[in-house]
Amino acid sequence: MEIKAYRCMGLLFALIVFLGEVYVLGQPSKPSLPKAHRHIGVVKSATGEEIPEFSMSEASLETNAKKENLITNRDRKYDAFTVERTRLFIAERSTGKVFEIRGLPLEWRPFSDLTWADERTLMFDRWSQPHYGVHYSVDIKEKRLNAAVPFPDKYFLEQQKTRSKSVP
């Protein structure tokens, strides 16, 4: 009797899991930023501003250039790194080609928080001031800017809440 009860519970659990997967797979997908590297105030479906000056073109790296913030994507095909904190490069490991990301605003400001969201999406920030920055997402394979979304940091948001409470 106990065995039948366990079997029924197991079959019921399997059916629930199967129906849940069917439901999830049937949902329409929405374009959004990959989940890695989220910030407060940056919504999932944000595409941000258009930056027509953006380019990712082949470049040569000076022989004495020091690679900083070096990260490798999950399938180990690309390396991303900064040089002098204000220049951002992507190296294709199989061919040895190096590409530089150019045309982003505030070129004198350093890049920060480089991370790979997946095998092809590089995400990073550039702060325009201490409490306000721009979050970028770049498709490396397509050499295309996916998103440029301005965002405040947590401190800035808390200050805004405090000010709005004090205003009658």
Give tens-digit pLDDT for 94-117. 999 999 999 999 999 999 999 999
> Is 38 part of a structural domain of the chain?
no
| pTM for this model (two decimals) | 0.67
Q: Confidence band (pLDDT; 50, 70, 90) for 131?
A: confident
> Is 167 part of a structural domain of the chain?
no
Residue 123: partners with Cβ closer than 8 Å, 6 or more residues away: 33, 34, 36, 37, 113, 114, 115, 116, 117, 135, 136, 137, 138
Q: Which two tokens stand for residue 48?
A: 């941000």
> Is 125 part of a structural domain of the chain?
yes
For residue 140, the enclosing domain spans: 55-156
> Is 29 part of a structural domain of the chain?
no
Residue 131 is part of a domain; what is its CATH number? Answer: 2.40.128.660
Give tens-digit pLDDT for 139-158. 999 999 998 888 887 665 56
pLDDT computed for residue 23 by the predictor:
43
Give tens-digit pLDDT for 38-84. 555 555 444 556 788 999 999 999 989 999 999 999 999 999 999 99
> Is 96 part of a structural domain of the chain?
yes
pLDDT computed for residue 68 by the predictor:
96
Please count the structural domains in the chain.
1
> Is 132 part of a structural domain of the chain?
yes
> Is 27 part of a structural domain of the chain?
no
**Cα separation of the two ends of the chain:** 69
> Is 83 part of a structural domain of the chain?
yes
